[in-house]
Amino acid sequence: MKDSKQPQIGQAVARGATAMVGVTLLTKMLASIGQFVIAVFVIEEELGRWVLALSLAEMFALVNKLGIREILVHRHEDIDDWVSSAFWVAAIGGVLTMAIIGVIAPFSPRLFNSVPEFAGLLAVAGVGFATAGFSDVFQAKLTLDFRFGAIAKIAAAEGIVRVVGQIVTSVFGMGAMGLLLVRAITWSSQAVALGIVARPKIKRRPETRLWKQAYSDSSNIFVIRVAEILIRRGDPLLLGLFVTDAALGAYAFAYGLSTQVVMLLAQSLTGALSAGLTKFQHDVVRLRRAFVSVINLMSFLGVPLLVVQAAACDPLLRLLYADKWVGAIAPLQILSLAACFSMAGWNTNAVFTARGLFRRQRIIRVSASVVFLCVMGAAASTGSLVIVAASVLVFRAVYIPIQVALSTDGGMKIVYESALAVLRPFNVAGVCAIVAGLLTNLAEPAILIVAVRAGEYSAQVVEFCRLVMISSITLGLYYIAARVLLAKTYREFVARIRTVMPARIARRVPSWLL
């Protein structure tokens, strides 16, 4: 009986993952385009204040650190008894979050040498985080009901409205305040929409007896979340102490662009993986094998895209903005390479949650956050965006394979395998990018001849030709080389693609293509 359920669970997770990736694909692409459009109208100082306000608000937000979603997912067998209690925790946590941010907001402009208006930016940024607990409750309920499509559609709607709204406010010159207002409104609306779809049974009494049962896990998760935020937000927070808002804006722009591929491929799978891996929480060997397979497939697809991003961002940014965001080019190149390792480690939370290893996760994250803050503090004190970005790359290259191994009890073998999962496609794509760069340089005389005919747009034509050549040659060579040098992963990737494709489409795809 148990074995017969395994394929059904696997199919449900596969369908859920496919739905979430498919629906969010458009959203993430729109988000990427939105960042480029917003950067046209928002000056560096405003973007720096926006990111600093978000980072500081997330740091001091209480409710998003209680681990509501993880606790509910881990107690999936009694979900109906826990949802109501978790709802009241989310409500109280939201109120406390706004109270804490309200206390620190008046002192924040002086601490970060920013404008007095920064206090208001921080307060607005806190609104979205105050409602995060409700989203966690409702999303956990939908996840355990395997209603991934509903989650993805609501997330997609929120993303589309948020990006469009932020573009509109940027066009009208509202700067950081406009970006934060739209984000606060859409995050709160998302919580309401998830609640309407999930329709959980909420009791009038908070049932504090369940709070006591969850205290141990919640306290562990709280410490874990603080450590995670320090790792995720520590670089802009510490950098903000030493550089101007404009320099911080350049780094924030680079960081935001560097994460788009990871957000698309890895974050979309988080909910489906959490639910699916929970079903195998007592079968560590099978869980480990499945997770390493996910890392290999995501790296096979995502790493070459990140390498192309690093190789082509120079002509891309110069084409779109001339000299406005030149300061973001070098950090973006380095952070794109760092994101290759984030691809492998993004979903380790799903493994820790599935196995209930909150104490181990706490020890790992706290230790890593201490190391990260020390490294970032030293790097940020130099005032160099390149040194900070390079420090992030080194930290992730060391930390993430170790984290994957500790989450799966795989030892040094998994450290080695998870590192190779990134390095294999990275090396292949890197060589392809170098060849593409050399061929582009050889074609420079021809490009200049074409550019001269463009008259006043000659500079844009040069950058456009460089962008197209670097991107297309790199991806084309990677496609050819991967079929030979990464044959095993390529075959597995193709098998997965054909599985999720509609049968009528799969039949029309020629075998030489996939």
Tokens 């669970």 correspond to what residue?
9
How would you write the pLDDT of the chain (514 residues) with one tens digit per residue?
Answer: 444 444 444 555 555 555 555 565 667 777 778 888 898 898 888 999 999 999 888 888 877 777 677 677 666 556 666 777 778 888 888 888 899 998 998 988 888 878 888 999 999 998 888 888 888 888 887 877 767 778 778 888 888 899 999 999 999 989 899 999 999 999 999 989 988 888 777 777 766 666 666 666 677 778 888 888 888 888 998 998 898 889 999 999 999 888 887 777 766 555 455 555 555 556 677 778 878 888 888 888 889 999 999 999 999 999 999 888 999 999 999 999 999 998 887 778 777 877 777 778 888 889 999 999 999 999 999 999 999 999 999 999 999 999 888 888 888 888 888 899 899 999 999 999 999 999 999 998 888 888 887 777 788 889 999 999 999 999 999 999 998 998 888 887 777 666 655 556 556 656 655 5
Q: Tell me what pLDDT residue 1 has.
A: 42
Q: Within 13 Å, how many C-alpha atoms sit on residue 241's CB side?
A: 13
- The pLDDT value given to residue 285: 79
Q: How far is CA 202 from CA 44, 143, 205, in A?
A: 45, 18, 9
Cβ atoms 30, 160 nearer than 8 A = yes
CA atoms of 364 and 402, how far apart (whole Å): 9
Q: How many CB atoms lie within 10 A of CB 363?
A: 15
Count of positions (residues) in the chain: 514
Q: Which pLDDT score is estimated for 198?
A: 81
DSSP annotation of 42 reads S
d(CA 251, CA 325): 10
Closest CA to 294 of 320, 318, 266: 266
Contacts of 198 (CB under 8 A, 6+ apart): 138, 139, 141, 142
Burial classification of residue 189, based on how many CB atoms lie within 10 Å of its CB (0-12 exposed, 13-18 middle, 19 or more buried): middle
Are the beta carbons of 139 and 151 closer than 8 angstroms? yes
Distance CA 478, CA 432 (A): 6
Q: What's residue 73's pLDDT?
A: 66
Q: What is the C-alpha to C-alpha distance for residues 419 and 267, in angstroms, rounded to an integer?
A: 19
| Residue of 187, 350, 192, 188 lying closest to 267 (CA atoms) | 350
- Specify the residue for token string 């950058």: 463
d(CA 182, CA 164): 9
| Three-state SS at 281 | coil
* Residue 455 falls in which region: left (phi positive, over 0), alpha (psi -120 to 50) or beta: left
Q: Can you tell me whether residue 402 is helix, strand or coil?
A: helix
Identify the three-state secondary structure at position 201: coil
Question: What phi and psi, each to the nearest 5 degrees, are found at residue 443?
Answer: -85, 0
Q: Please, how many CA atoms are within 13 Å of residue 422, restricted to the half-sphere of its CB?
A: 25
How far apart, in whole angstroms, are the C-alpha atoms of residue 409 and residue 395? 21
Q: Is the Cα torsion angle 500, 505, 508, 512 positive or negative in sign?
A: negative
| Integer Cα distance of 69 and 138 in angstroms | 9
Structure confidence at residue 409 (pLDDT) = 84
